[in-house]
Amino acid sequence: MPVNENFVPKIQVFEPHRASLPPLIPYIKEFWTRRAFATELARFNDKAEYLDSRLGKVWLVLNPLLLGFVYYLVVTIIRPGGTLPGLTRLDHLLIGLFTFYFAQNCVTAGALSITMGGRLILNQAFPRALLPFSCAIQAFQQFLPTIPVYIFILVAGKWAYPTTIVPGWTWHFLWIPFILICTGLTGFGLALVFATLNVYFRDTNKLLTYITRIWMYLSPVLWLPNSLRGHMKILLWVNPLGPVLNATSRVWVSGETLNKETLVGCVFWAGASILIGGYFFISRERDFAIRI
């Protein structure tokens, strides 16, 4: 065969991807510039999720509400006990479930965001962290309708059962935005971790169903934070949602301000989740297009 003089033989070696961070300042600027994309994607997914359901977004409130009554039946009626009078325990269960579902929806939807957004990743260049971020926005939008429902049950329960303890309107409710921000940041950070794991191990999503169920049982949702004694109190602080759920119970149910331990715990887990999840996700996101 004739030799082509213009052909220069070249050997190209493809090495395994090495986890490394891109320049963070341009990445964060690009992420913030495209935040409107995450908001619109969350709005679109929110509409599409309940498109075939007759009740539609009513299930956003109905699902945790019915689950709260089931747990109340188990904890209070089938297994009586406790010192909370009236429907105070139900109030604790509901606000705990609503808050926990907010974080859980961030994690479970965020874990699927990369594998489900494969076509978008293959055809567009953008910070991949916007996909789990849109899931966190969607989870927050789904959480908001539960607040009026909880307040209505709180007022109705106090009217029907005067022994129910409710805090009333106090300045301690000013802590609520802080609690929600910490819950959202913790859920978003954990979503980054599980989204990355799900790219490499597709069984992560299936295991996550059992992980979140066990996680809820270990969180102060079905039980009160002050019921822990001695060394068992560590369960409240090693749990990423332990401090925020403790803060939720203190503000919404007890009408108390946040103590120093709870405040530090909320900030610590929110910051640790973002830092660890951000590093784990961003350092590997250039590998996602190959893996999916």
pTM of the model: 0.84
pLDDT grade for 87, boundaries at 50, 70 and 90: confident
The two three-digit tokens of residue 266, written as one number: 């909320």
Q: What is the 3-state secondary structure (H, E, C) of the chain?
A: CCCCCCCCCCCCCCCCCCCCCCCHHHHHHHHHHCHHHHHHHHHHHHHHHCCCCCCCCHHHHHHHHHHHHHHHHHHHHHCCCCCCCCCHHHHHHHHHHHHHHHHHHHHHHHHHHHHHCHHHHHHCCCCCCHHHHHHHHHHHHHHCCHHHHHHHHHHHHHHHCCCCCCCCCCHHHHHHHHHHHHHHHHHHHHHHHHHHHHHHCCCHHHHHHHHHHHHHHCCCCCCCHHHCCHHHHHHHHCCCCHHHHHHHHHHHHHCCCCCHHHHHHHHHHHHHHHHHHHHHHHCCHHHHHHHC
The tens digit of pLDDT for each residue in 21-66 reads 788 898 899 999 988 988 988 888 777 766 565 655 666 677 777 7
pLDDT of residue 44: 82
- Which residues fall within 8 angstroms of residue 179, CB to CB, at 6 or more apart? 99, 244, 247, 248, 251, 266
C-alpha dist (Å) from residue 104 to 50, 188, 258? 18, 10, 23
**What is the pLDDT of the chain when averaged over all its residues?**
82
- How many Cα atoms within 13 Å fall on the side-chain side of residue 62? 6
Categorise residue 239: left if φ over 0, alpha if ψ from -120 to 50, beta otherwise: beta
The tens digit of pLDDT for each residue in 208-237 reads 989 998 999 889 888 888 887 778 888 888
pLDDT grade for 16, boundaries at 50, 70 and 90: low
Q: Which residue's structure tokens are 């990355």?
A: 196
Q: What number is the average pLDDT over the span 94-122?
A: 89
pLDDT grade for 14, boundaries at 50, 70 and 90: very low
Q: Which residue's structure tokens are 């980054």?
A: 192
Q: Is the pLDDT of residue 12 over 70?
A: no
